Structure 1
């Protein structure tokens, strides 16, 4: 065994941050076991499905569960009929979350559903703040130089406006 190869193994294999396969597994490549199973089952899907249905009808509980899970899969979420107060500002978030907490306490919604409501309210508040900031920036960008100088000087217009502060003749 060459000396360089031995020292690389003793040092722990590859250099930190360097992959032995930098391009990774090719896109679309499939596991050999999956390909073998597909080859075995190719053309048998209909017969296997019918056998599962026959076993379920004969009383096999596992086959019945398999068939029912395919016909009517378990729901991850359920629609919740819960009246939220209207959302008209970010300030309403506290009122909304208070209503959600009351609904959890009353047993109308589950704590996990309340957490989902909280995510929705949080997303709304973030969007509201972003829109509000955008509106503020737009208003500032539309101010004239004299308006900006008046604001910067505490409300009264300066007697002389330096020419370097003027733009576009405003």
Structure 2
């Protein structure tokens, strides 16, 4: 049944013959067609300007050459965390790894978030177990 403020059923498009998903702007397509034949010349010019010291051209070239930073795999000794009491040992290991240069502070922060989520899960499981024990005693 249509809503009172609309003539259309829920999930029904107001313009079924409208623009298809994924279609591209005509202006974008036109520009791509123009630049397609000039891509090599434009690239050479940008490189020439970068080599001549143009900061904007350097940034453009380097942004295209260097891929975005991706997370790397980290290996260091982190004590097993089975209870909340194990948390101080884990955070001490993180601090040692940062201070020795084994991992970066931002990597330690990311690991700290994972450790915190793990402690939250342990705490929730412990509370659930304790509640079940209490409810079992009351019956």
TM-score, normalised by the number of residues in structure 1: 0.47
Task: Provide the C-alpha distance between the structure 2 equivalents of 1:34 and 1:126, rounded to a whole number of angstroms.
Answer: 49
Distance 1:84 1:95 in 2: 11
Contact 2:81 2:87 in 1 (8 A): no
Unaligned residue ranges in structure 1 (runs of 5+): 1-13, 137-150, 155-170
**1:28 alignment partner, SS class:** coil
Rounded to whole Å, the distance in 1 between the matches of 2:46 and 2:38 is 12
Equivalent in the alignment of 2:79:
86
TM-aligned CA deviation for residue 46 of structure 1:
1.5
Structure number with greater CO (CA < 8 Å, separation at least 6) is: 2
Q: How many residues align?
A: 119
* Matched residue, 1:71: 65
Q: How does 1:1-170 map to 2 (within 5 A)?
A: 15=6, 21=14, 26-73=20-67, 75=69, 83-91=76-84, 92-100=86-94, 109-110=104-105, 112-125=106-119
- Shift of the 127–34 alpha-carbon distance from structure 1 to 2, 3 Å rule, reads farther
Q: Tell me, which stretches of 5 or more residues in structure 2 are unaligned?
A: 130-135
Q: Aligned partners of 1:39, 1:21: CA distance in 2, in Å?
A: 33
Q: How far apart are the structure 1 equivalents of 2:32 and 2:95?
A: 50
8 A contact 2:94–2:108 mirrored in 1: yes
Structure 2 CA distance for aligned equivalents of residues 22 and 124 of structure 1: 48
- The answer to whether the Cα contact below 8 Å between 1:85 and 1:96 also exists between their aligned partners in 2 is yes
Displacement of 1:102: 6.8
| Deviation (angstroms), 1:72 | 2.3
Structure-2-length-normalised TM-score: 0.54
How far is the alpha carbon of 1:116 from its aligned partner? 0.9
Flag the 1:33–1:126 CA change in 2: closer, same or farther, 3 A: farther
Describe the superposition over 1:131-167 as per-residue Cα deviations: whole angstroms up to 9, x where unpaired. Answer: x79xx9xxxxxxxxxxxxxx88x9xxxxxxxxxxxxx
Distance 1:21 1:95, change over 3 A: farther
